[in-house]
């Protein structure tokens, strides 16, 4: 074999070997759209590197962390799910292919729902104060479809109908508000007031109970 041909083969092999050592991080999650963070272990600063499904090549990794230092921590987060962490001892020589199933965080889901309901109820109260009774009733209907046993949603619906002077529907919703929470004193007072105004007679209550 001629020397020139040997040189060409050597160059090609060098390129192939170099390509085979290219590092990458491949992270998938179920569900997807989880945010991925990375940091050098011991550092306080997590750097966001994208969302799943995610593939990062060597040059991108080197911009975020010093891969000569070991180890590094990779963290995967998604709202409503438990975060997942992966510690890599030698990222400088490792290809990472990570496929994870995120576990639902029930507490986070509950808090998220409370926040959503609270935001909706604040908006309803704002609309009621501004005279937007139809808009508030529309929002309350949507909230009631999600939370049909909420006393406060029924109470505010009763208030919206009361401001519209639709006293019969107002009584219906104040009645339900009290039914779902017998400790709701405001709903009880409005229920009794509307019953008196409309001349509604109720069966006599058993001793010790409110009607």
Whole-angstrom CA distances from 74 to 9, 50, 85, 96, 179 are 39, 12, 6, 11, 51
Two tokens, residue 211: 């009607």
What confidence tens digit (pLDDT) does each residue in 155-174 have? 999 999 999 999 999 999 99
Q: Say yes or no: 126 and 83 in one domain.
A: no
Residue 3 lies in a domain: no
pLDDT of residue 69: 62
**Which of these three, 83, 104, 125, is where a domain ends?**
104
* Domain range for 63: 23-104
Q: Say yes or no: 132 and 94 in one domain.
A: no
Residue 133 lies in a domain: yes
pLDDT of residue 26: 86
Burial class of residue 34 in the structure, from the number of CB atoms within 10 Å of its CB (0-12 exposed, 13-18 middle, 19+ buried): buried
What confidence tens digit (pLDDT) does each residue in 16-64 have? 434 445 567 788 999 999 998 888 877 788 888 889 998 877 677 777 7
Q: Say yes or no: 73 and 32 in one domain.
A: yes
Domain CATH number, residue 176: 1.25.40.10
Domain CATH number, residue 34: 2.60.40
pLDDT of residue 202: 61
Considering its fold, how many domains does the chain have in total? 2
Contact 75, 49 (CB under 8 A): no
Q: Say yes or no: 84 and 165 in one domain.
A: no
Contact 204, 198 (CB under 8 A): no
Q: How far apart are CA 135 and CA 131, in angstroms?
A: 9
**Residue of 71, 73, 37, 33 lying closest to 53 (CA atoms):** 33
Residue 99 lies in a domain: yes
Phi and psi of 66, rounded to 5°?
-85, 100
Q: Say yes or no: 115 and 97 in one domain.
A: no
């Amino acid at each position: 074999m001629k020397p020139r041909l040997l040189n060409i083969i050597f160059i090609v092999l060098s390129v192939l070997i170099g390509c085979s050592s290219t590092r990458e991080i491949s992270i998938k999650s179920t569900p997807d759209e989880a945010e991925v963070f990375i940091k050098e272990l011991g550092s306080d600063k997590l750097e966001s590197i994208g969302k799943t499904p995610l593939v990062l090549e060597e040059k991108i990794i080197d911009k975020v962390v010093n891969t000569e230092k070991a180890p590094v921590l990779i963290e995967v987060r998604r709202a409503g799910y438990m975060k997942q962490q992966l510690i890599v001892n030698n990222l400088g020589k490792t290809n990472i292919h990570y496929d994870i199933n995120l576990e639902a965080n029930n507490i986070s889901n509950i808090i998220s729902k409370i926040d959503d309901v609270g935001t909706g109820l604040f908006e309803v109260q704002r609309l009621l104060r501004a005279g937007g009774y139809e808009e508030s009733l529309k929002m309350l209907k949507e909230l009631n479809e999600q939370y049909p046993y909420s006393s406060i949603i029924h109470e505010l619906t009763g208030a919206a109908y009361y401001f519209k002077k639709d006293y019969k529907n107002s009584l219906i919703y104040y009645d339900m508000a009290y039914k779902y929470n017998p400790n709701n004193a405001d709903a009880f007072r409005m229920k009794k007031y509307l019953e008196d105004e409309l001349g509604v007679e109720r069966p006599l209550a058993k001793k010790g109970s409110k009607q």
